[in-house]
């Protein structure tokens, strides 16, 4: 297949989402872009469901755009992560954008990438692409050129250079799979609905326990944005200004750590947009702030930026050393310098800084 053929392969993506069955990787790119604006906080799954639709429409209303499909105007307004669509250019290390997020999503689906879906073509993405190319018996050059693009389009049925849909009739409900330790109350709260509404929709007795693996329908209104979670980037900017730290550096760090997701808690207990550890929070509260800071979205952001400001002061404004201290610990940097494992993280954050 020639590159021209690939680039014109599927124009059907402009059709309503209900016509398109299954996963659309281009929609995954849209979800990542919406997440960067704090408007989409669900799983990056490539499905144009109600949460994606709600996020698109909320963005369009906020920016004075026609409410409907995520057309070219909408994607341009989304900023650097809103374009270009996958297949529109050759991709290589250092690129940033919508198409890189799609590539990361596809590599994740093939089990060769476990990094963040952040739209930045860093060393992890390059290594994963090489693994994929070797599996496909392609030249492992970590470049998405015509041959690699053709292989991906054929194997994954990726619509190329077409519109990305998010129709209000995409799906009436979302589905949640019950995980260990979850309760009906907790699921209802996270979905922005009530226990009675959830029980009624799923024909449940709210007094009975739910079962791990059980599939629960979520009311369509649960796709509405939760005010406490909205506009993460604006909150990052506000706290950056208040605490005197470069907002672009804070945005890039937050994007690398969590993809602007507010509810993530790592296996080590790091939480929030900036993924600060309990020990870091304790240090910030006891030494830097001298007070308790609430475990809220704003509180988590304040803790992270206070600690970043501290590192910048300790290392006399050297951002590379401050970010290394963030990643491996202040004392380790002082005593041993920047570890090799820290260098890609530092480089990626600094590269994103000029684009976020």
Tell me the mean pLDDT in the region 256-275: 81
User: In terms of domains, do 207 and 268 share one?
Assistant: no
| Percent of the chain with pLDDT strictly greater than 90 | 42
| CATH code for the domain in which residue 89 is found | 1.10.101.10
User: In terms of domains, do 121 and 95 share one?
Assistant: yes
pLDDT tens, residue by residue, 298-355: 999 999 999 999 999 999 999 999 999 999 999 999 999 999 888 888 988 998 888 7
Is 181 a domain residue? yes
Is 224 a domain residue? no
User: In terms of domains, do 27 and 82 share one?
Assistant: yes
- Position 193 scores a pLDDT of 65
Is 28 a domain residue? yes
Overall domain count for the chain: 3
- Position 217 scores a pLDDT of 80
Nearest alpha-carbon partner for 318 in 306, 308, 305: 308
190 compared with 48, residue with greater pLDDT: 48
User: In terms of domains, do 248 and 302 share one?
Assistant: yes
Is 226 a domain residue? no
User: In terms of domains, do 98 and 147 share one?
Assistant: yes
- Position 48 scores a pLDDT of 85
Is 163 a domain residue? no
Cα gap 314→91, rounded to integer Å: 38
Is 162 a domain residue? no
- Position 220 scores a pLDDT of 52
CA distances for 354 relative to 64, 89, 184, 348, angstroms: 26, 21, 43, 11
Is 250 a domain residue? yes
User: In terms of domains, do 205 and 237 share one?
Assistant: no
User: In terms of domains, do 190 and 294 share one?
Assistant: no
pLDDT score of 30 more than 70:
yes
CA distances for 57 relative to 166, 175, 200, angstroms: 9, 20, 27
Is 10 a domain residue? yes
Nearest alpha-carbon partner for 69 in 167, 138, 182, 187: 167
- Position 13 scores a pLDDT of 31
pLDDT score of 209 more than 70:
yes
Longest dimension (CA), the chain: 64
| CATH code for the domain in which residue 323 is found | 1.10.530.10
User: In terms of domains, do 141 and 180 share one?
Assistant: no
pLDDT score of 290 more than 60:
yes
Low-confidence winner among 136-145, 180-189, 220-229, 287-296 (lowest mean pLDDT): 220-229
User: In terms of domains, do 136 and 14 share one?
Assistant: yes
User: In terms of domains, do 305 and 186 share one?
Assistant: no
- What residue numbers bound the domain in which 97 lies? 3-156
pLDDT score of 76 more than 70:
yes
User: In terms of domains, do 99 and 28 share one?
Assistant: yes
| CATH code for the domain in which residue 182 is found | 3.10.350.10
- Position 302 scores a pLDDT of 96
Statement: the pTM of the whole predicted model exceeds 0.85? no
pLDDT tens, residue by residue, 173-186: 567 788 777 787 77
pLDDT tens, residue by residue, 121-151: 988 999 999 999 999 999 999 999 999 988 8
230 compared with 84, residue with greater pLDDT: 84
State the Cα angle at 18 between 198 and 82, rounded to 5°: 95
Last residue of a domain, one of 156, 191, 206: 156
User: In terms of domains, do 306 and 269 share one?
Assistant: yes
């Amino acid at each position: 297949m020639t590159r021209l053929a690939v680039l014109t392969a599927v124009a059907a993506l402009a059709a309503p989402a209900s016509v398109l069955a299954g996963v659309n990787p281009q929609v995954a790119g849209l979800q990542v872009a919406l997440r960067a604006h704090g408007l989409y906080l669900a799983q990056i799954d490539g499905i144009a469901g109600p949460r994606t639709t709600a996020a698109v429409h909320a963005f369009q209303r906020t920016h004075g755009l026609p409410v409907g499909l995520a057309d070219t105007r909408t994607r341009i307004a989304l900023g650097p992560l809103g374009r270009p669509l996958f297949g529109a250019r050759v991709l290589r290390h250092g690129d940033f954008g919508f198409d890189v997020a799609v590539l990361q999503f596809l590599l994740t689906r093939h089990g060769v990438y476990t990094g963040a879906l952040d739209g930045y073509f860093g060393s992890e993405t390059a290594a994963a692409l090489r693994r994929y190319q070797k599996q496909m018996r392609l030249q492992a050059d970590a470049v998405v050129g015509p041959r690699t693009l053709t292989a991906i389009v054929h194997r994954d049925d990726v619509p190329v250079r077409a519109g990305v849909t998010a129709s209000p009739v995409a799906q009436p409900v979302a589905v949640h799979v019950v995980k260990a330790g979850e309760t009906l109350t907790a699921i209802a709260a996270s979905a922005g609905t009530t226990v009675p509404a959830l029980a009624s929709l799923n024909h449940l007795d709210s007094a009975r326990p739910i079962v791990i693996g059980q599939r629960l329908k979520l009311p369509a209104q649960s796709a509405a944005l939760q005010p406490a979670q909205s506009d993460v980037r604006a909150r990052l900017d506000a706290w950056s200004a208040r605490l005197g730290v470069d907002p672009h550096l804070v945005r890039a760090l937050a994007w690398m750590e969590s993809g602007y997701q507010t509810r993530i808690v790592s296996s080590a207990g790091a939480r929030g947009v900036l993924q600060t550890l309990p020990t870091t929070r304790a240090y910030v509260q006891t030494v830097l702030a001298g007070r308790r800071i609430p475990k809220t979205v704003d509180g988590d952001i304040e803790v992270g930026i206070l600690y970043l400001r501290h590192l910048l002061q300790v290392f006399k404004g050297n951002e590379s050393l401050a970010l290394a201290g963030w990643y491996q610990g202040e004392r380790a940097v002082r005593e041993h310098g920047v570890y090799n494992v820290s260098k890609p993280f530092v480089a990626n954050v600094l590269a994103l800084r000029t684009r976020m």
